[in-house]
Amino acid sequence: MAKKARKPNKPYQLGDLPAVIDADTLVLGCDPGSTNFGISLVGVSRGQVKVYANSVLMHPVNDLVNFVTSSDKFLLEISYWMRCKPSGITGERFQTRGNGGPLIEQVSAMLGLLRGRYPKVPIKLTIASAWKNRFNRRHSCDLKEIYPTVGVQPHQLDATLIGVFGLETGLELTLDYNLEDLYTQVERTSLIGLRK
């Protein structure tokens, strides 16, 4: 039976995450933002890249005044993703490009909360240019041209690609995957509605 598509911008249900994941290695890819925090479970199964679930978080930390409440909600939501037992986390850290306002603090706080809550799970933080330049060189394309063609929000695709980057870095190998297949997997495993 086909999964019923959700309406765009409708929150996902935490129970929508897969109960069983058959990956040999699984990572949680994170593209943090105060409004759009992309998240993706990406793994390698029998030598193939597989996307298991992805979304935009419902509760990113975007209120530093009420930090206890916002961080509790964030960590509760993350705990559901961590129940899938990823062997590592890969996240994009914030690089300032002028005056970033509170976003710098919010992203740094969320990455710090991940490390503090899950100290035994390896975490790889990367800058955007590290994974994007590798992607652009390898596939001879620019992500800015790809975003409009994929049915998910750019942050969901970025989180997935950050996850692939984390797998390749952690396993010290170059994974063979087809871009069109990867885009299809991201769309199919999105826990929120697709864009038109």
Element (H, E) at 91: strand 88-92
The neighbour count for residue 196, using CB atoms within 10 Å, is 5
pLDDT tens figures, 99-143: 667 888 999 999 999 999 999 999 999 999 999 999 999 999 889
The model's confidence at residue 151, banded by pLDDT at 50, 70 and 90, is very high
Mean pLDDT across the chain: 91
Number of domains within the chain: 1
Three-state secondary-structure class, residue 39: strand
- Cα distance between residue 127 and residue 29, in whole Å: 13
φ and ψ at residue 92, rounded to 5 degrees: -90, 125
Burial class (CB within 10 angstroms; exposed 0-12, middle 13-18, buried 19+) of 144: exposed
Residue 28 belongs to a domain? yes
User: Are 126 and 165 in contact, with CB atoms under 8 Å apart?
Assistant: yes
Q: What is the pLDDT of residue 4?
A: 44
Residue 6 belongs to a domain? no
- pTM of the prediction? 0.91
Helix axes 128-139, 154-171, angle to 10 degrees: 90
Least confident of 40-44, 89-93, 133-137: 133-137
Helix axes 103-117, 67-82, angle to 10 degrees: 50
CATH code at position 104 = 3.30.420.10
Residue 170 belongs to domain spanning = 24-188
Residue 8 belongs to a domain? no
Q: What is the pLDDT of residue 102?
A: 87
How much of the chain, in percent, has pLDDT values that exceed 70? 91
